[in-house]
Amino acid sequence: MSDKKQKKPLKLKARLARGFPDRSAPDIRATDQMMAKIKLVYERFGFEPVETPFVEYTDALGKFLPDADRPNEGVFSFQDDDDQWLSLRYDLTAPLARHVAENFNDIQLPYRTYRSGWVFRNEKPGPGRFRQFMQFDADIVGAPGVQADAEMCMMMADTMEALGIPRGDYVIRVNNRKVLDGIMEAIGLGGNENAGKRLTVLRAIDKLDKFGIEGVKLLLGAGRWDGGKEGEGDFAPGAGLSPAEANTVLMGVGLIVDTDDDYPASQTYSDGQAELKMIEQIAMESGYGPDRIKIDPSVVRGLEYYTGPVYEAELLGGIPNEKGQIVQFGSVGGGGRYDGLVSRFMGQPVPATGFSIGVSRLMTALKNLGKVSGETANGPILVTIMDRDRIGDYAKMAQELRTELNPLDENQQPLEVPVPVELFQGNPKDFPKQLRYADRRGSPIAIIQGGNEKEAGKLIVKDLIEGKRIAETITDNAEWREAKAGEHLVDEGELVITVKRILAEQASDAFADAVKAQG
C-alpha cells in the first residue's frame, strides 16, 4: 500500500455569480402574468413582436458606451475567432436599430414593434441592482411627428391601468430634450466641448425628487455635502454655474417662476416647448388628462441618444416594500425619441421613438400592491403508487386526468387554466411519505389504489383540503383513522367525474371564504 495519501477530489462549491439572480417559480409566473397583460395593450395599439439575439457586435451598441481601449467597459464582451468584438446587449433599443437598418428594405414603415428579454450591464452590483435584468420595450420607427410620442405616452398610461394601477396612482411625465438643450444653450453650454458639464447639470436636475430645489441649487453651483452642512458626509461636486446661470436653469425646467417673462429662449428651446404643447393637446383630445399624462419640465432621461420628447411612468403614493414599510416607488419605465440611432447605420434620417419597462422593478411594485401573484391556487393532483409492479396503471390514470381536466381547442391550445397532474416519482415503499409530499406541494387531491381496491375495481379519491379541515377538529388518532377524512371510494370509471366534482367544491369553498374575509 502506498504511503501517499489518496487525494480526495475537490468538492465544487455551488455559488451564484454576483449580480445574476436565480428566479423562483412564483417569480416566473408573476412575470408571465404581467407581461401577458402588457402584450394585450401593445397589440391593441397595432404593435407586433420581434426578437433580437443576446449578442451584438460591440460597435453596434451605440455611442453611449464608453470609448476605451477595453471595449467591454460597461458591457460584457469577448472576441470572436475573426477578432471581431462581440458584446451581450446592454439594452433592447440599440439591437432594434441594427435590426431595422439591416432589414430596412423589407420593413414597412412606420414600424411598430415590441419585444422583451434579458439585458446585461458590466457594472458593480448592489442591493436591487443586477447585472442581468429584463426589459420590455415598444417602439415606432419611421414616424417623425410628435403624435407618435403622444401615442407612446397614451399606451404607457393604458398599460398601467391594465396592470391594475388606478388613475391617480400613476402618472406619465413628459419633457423634451430640445427644451433641456435650449436651456444649456442659454447658459453657454452648447457644443460638443461642453458635453460633460451639460451632463452634470442634467444630473443635478434629476436629483429634484431626492434633494428638493435647494439641493438642486447646490449641485448646480459649487456642490453639496450629503450631511447638509460643510464637512458632513460625502461631497458631490457641482456643475460650477453662477447664481444667475443656475436661476436660468431652474426657470427653464419650471422649478422657479420667471416673473419678468424674459427667459433667454433659443430656437431649440422654443421648438421643444411647441412639441410639448402638441403632445399635451393630442393627449387631452384623446381623453388623457393631466391626471394621466403630465408635462413636467424637470424630467431628465439619461441616455445620450435621446433627441426630442422624453417620458417616464411613475407610480405615485406609498407602496409597501418587502419589509412592509411604505415607500415612494417612483419610476418603473420610460423612454423617448432617438432620431439618430438608426441613422448611424443608414446615412439618412430615420426617426424613432420608444419606451422601456423595467420588468423586475414593475413586478416588485405590483406584487407588493397585491396586483399580481405567482402563487398557484393549488399544487398538482397526485397519483400515488401502492404497487410498483403496476406503474403502467397509475401512469394511465395520470394521463387520463391530464387529458380530461385540460381540454384543448381546435388549435391544441388550452381552453382553461391548466390543472396539473403528477405521478409520484419517489420511493413508493413509504406511502405516508407520498402524502407528506402531496402536502408540501399543496396538492388538492390524491389518487390511491392498492391491491384490494384494484381487485374490486375501485379507487380512492382523497380530498386533501377537506381532509385537512376535518383533521383539525379531531384530536384522537384512532378517531381520525376511523373517519378516513376526505376519502371517497369510487368505481374506476368514476375517477374523472369525482375529481371534477371535488375541484368544483373546493373552488366554491375558497370563493366563500374570500367573500367572508372581505366582510
Task: Answer positive or negative: Cα dihedral of 325, 327, 333, 338.
Answer: negative
- Check whether 117 has a pLDDT greater than 90: yes
Grid coordinates of 55: 449578442
- Check whether 340 has a pLDDT greater than 80: yes
Written as one string, the DSSP assignment of 13-65 is PP-PPTT-----HHHHHHHHHHHHHHHHHHHHTT-EE----SEEEGGGG-TTS
State the pLDDT confidence band at 203, using cuts at 50, 70 and 90.
confident
Grid coordinates of 143: 414616424
Helix (H) or strand (E) holding 88: strand 85-88
pLDDT at 67: 45
Separation between Cα atoms, residue 174 and residue 293, nearest integer Å: 7
Look at the block and give the residue holding cell 396586483. 371
State the pLDDT confidence band at 467, using cuts at 50, 70 and 90.
confident
Model confidence over 136-158: pLDDT tens digits?
A: 999 999 999 999 999 999 999 99
Look at the block and give the residue holding cell 391617480. 168
Model confidence over 98-108: pLDDT tens digits?
A: 999 999 999 99
State the pLDDT confidence band at 283, using cuts at 50, 70 and 90.
very high
Separation between Cα atoms, residue 234 and residue 44, nearest integer Å: 49
pLDDT at 132: 93
**Counting beta carbons within 10 angstroms of the beta carbon of residue 258, is it exposed (0 to 12), middle (13 to 18) or buried (19 or more)?**
middle
State the pLDDT confidence band at 392, using cuts at 50, 70 and 90.
very high
Residue 231: CB partners within 8 Å, gap ≥ 6? 225
Residue 311: CB partners within 8 Å, gap ≥ 6? 149, 152, 153, 156, 172, 173, 174, 175, 299, 301, 334, 335, 336, 355
Separation between Cα atoms, residue 459 and residue 455, nearest integer Å: 10
Separation between Cα atoms, residue 384 and residue 462, nearest integer Å: 11
Q: What is the mean pLDDT of residues 249-277?
A: 83
Model confidence over 398-446: pLDDT tens digits?
A: 999 999 998 877 777 776 778 999 999 988 888 999 999 999 999 999 9
Look at the block and give the residue holding cell 397519483. 383
Coil, helix or strand at residue 343: helix
Q: What is the mean pLDDT of residues 236-246?
A: 90
pLDDT at 475: 65
Separation between Cα atoms, residue 332 and residue 313, nearest integer Å: 6
Angle at 176 between CA 171 and CA 179, to 5 degrees: 130
Coil, helix or strand at residue 119: strand
Grid coordinates of 239: 456643475
Written as one string, the DSSP assignment of 184-218 is HHHTT--SGGGHHHHHHHHHHHTTHHHHHHHHHHH
- Check whether 131 has a pLDDT greater than 50: yes
Provide the percentage of residues in the chain whose pLDDT is more than 70. Answer: 91
Coil, helix or strand at residue 309: strand
| Structure-model confidence comparison of residues 288 and 324, the more confident one | 288
356 alpha-carbon distance from chain centroid: 10
